[in-house]
Structure 1
């Protein structure tokens, strides 16, 4: 248990250090470790040492001579008592940690983008810690609010920063946006998934012992209070626009083939050739991929409720142009797909 709490405290320390250049990476890895050790402590107290993997012959699986314990994703499934929003928050960070494992992101965009999820990850951790082991394990009294610099960057600075995003960072930002859009409204708006706070400087205190900063939970405000806060120019509130209609204007694979063939002259594509084409241009993962959301969203989007993929008009436009101008025959394209060869989509886009 001490190892779990130490990991969480170190995660907060790393995150709050102003000169940290790997803030999100360090925080996420340490918090995943804290959560994993929390579950292991709980399982050890309730089921003994049965949270280790075993082979069919009954022997333990070993990694570097040590017994292999359940990783966090397995712990979540075995515990099976988490709130949906808490589980969504944890799964978000498990996926994100896997994505940043081989990247080093020094820009602040990821830090600010996922601040709400990071704060919920920490809140949820302490809530479960107390629920499983009691109030004496509460650690919030040892923490204080981190200090903030007052200057807000200008729109020009933000635009310049966005234009300089590396491909790795752009991929991470795209993942965050796609993951959020898979969540239902209740989960997305839940404080267990992402904390949404308004920080209000207090101009004067009625009591000199009062805290200098007041944190207001947005979801607890009345409609009138929300309207009043919206009028304050000192509040910077990021707003995510969520489109409620699903798959408007999106196209199923058979419809893609039909539309492409309507416009091709002297050529046509089949459903198997379409499969070869999306593999060659890597616009979506293959069936059974670990992360089905890894699509090129300009051309293809994963439809989670139906566990399949839908395509954009841009994909039809690209295929028509490609088939008319590339000079590659269907047999050549099928062979490329079969052997795992890929093409760069921007080399053929018009």
Structure 2
């Protein structure tokens, strides 16, 4: 006999928190799928952080875990208040840090990324965040749906209210190349993303709970009278994905290789330009303003500058044009 499903009982405060959490999540996805809104990535991040915060508050409330800031005065709790007298509740990061947090590590990594991204974007406008980080936004939404159902029951899931937005144009090679470029993202955003990803292990970075990467393939009906599907989702380790042919387009977010300046110099010397030195490299990047964030040729991680492969190509072309000087 199948085990009976555990009945979850929650109080009125938890119910209200849960209601606000779901509304914020639904609003975030609806905004992100609205083609008339261009500020969608920023709105999505803010609303999903609010949504997750209320979800964890509801969970802690249900289990009798204190999620307000306080200090002990003798044997009594003295609660912290805002300047206007309201009690201070835990922010999302504090909720995740608590030992009672129900959020698994990879889903928490995704949320920590969004929290830090919000800090970077809250004071200035950005561009192209939605297509560049869509895998992480998708993971956040799916993680939320899984957690709210696990914590409060399937009836609270948001999947029945949502659908994937319909694309009105095909994805061409030009579109794929555009998505693969980071030019246009502000330098501080690029630096943040690179720095955050560098802290993750390969398994953490590739986990679908951190960034949900999918394979899009054409899908037609097998029988007459059967409705066609616009897309089909295929697992990356499936036989279809392994044997995919040229008619299909694969879009996958990957970590870009990064190189230290000394590695760039060593590569030029190995390529037949032994006189090319670190001094020449420094002179050249200053001459062409290569560290300008708008050019997307490298990024600053903590206090160290790393170069991307397009910069190595430029340096190689420079050495070839000045072969007599460097050979």
TM-score (norm 1): 0.63
Task: Determine if the alignment matches structure 1 residue 135 to structure 2 residue 118.
Answer: no
> RMSD across aligned C-alpha pairs, in angstroms?
3.6
Does residue 196 of structure 2 align to residue 179 of structure 1?
A: yes
Deviations 1:55-78 (A, max 9, x none): 343321112221110000010112
Q: Provide the C-alpha distance between the structure 1 equivalents of 2:94 and 2:182, rounded to a whole number of angstroms.
A: 39
In structure 1, how many angstroms separate the alpha carbons of the residues matched to 2:187 and 2:170? 25
1:41 alignment partner in structure 2: 58
Change beyond 3 A, Cα 1:51–1:237: same
CA distance in 1, matches of 2:202, 2:92: 25
Unaligned runs of 5+ in 1: 251-262, 265-282, 284-296, 303-308, 314-350
Q: Find the aligned partners of 1:82 and 1:98 in 2 and give their Cα distance.
A: 21
Matched residue SS, 2:236 = helix
1:102 paired with 2:123, answer yes
The yes-or-no answer on 1:195 pairing with 2:247 is no
Q: Which runs of 5+ in 2 are unaligned?
A: 1-17, 265-277, 280-290, 292-296, 308-327
| Structure with higher RCO (Cα < 8 A, 6+ apart) | 2
Query: TM (normalized to structure 2)?
Result: 0.67
Q: Does the CA contact (< 8 Å) of 2:216 and 2:248 recur in 1?
A: no
CA contact under 8 A between 2:218 and 2:230: conserved in structure 1?
yes
Contact 1:200 1:215 in 2 (8 A): yes
**Counterparts of 1:151 and 1:178, CA distance in 2:** 33
Report the alpha carbon displacement of residue 35 of structure 1 after superposing the two structures with TM: 0.2
Which residue does 2:243 correspond to in 1? 228
Aligned to 2:88: 68
Distance in 1 between residues matched to 2:260 and 2:182, nearest whole Å: 30
1:328-347 matched pairs, under 5 angstroms:
none
1:147-162 equivalence runs, <5 A: 147-152=166-171, 155=174
State the SS of the aligned residue for 1:199. strand
**Contact (CA 8 Å) 2:261, 2:306: kept in 1 or not?**
no
What secondary structure, in the 3-state scheme, does the structure 2 residue paired with 1:90 have? helix
Contact 1:196 1:218 in 2 (8 A): no
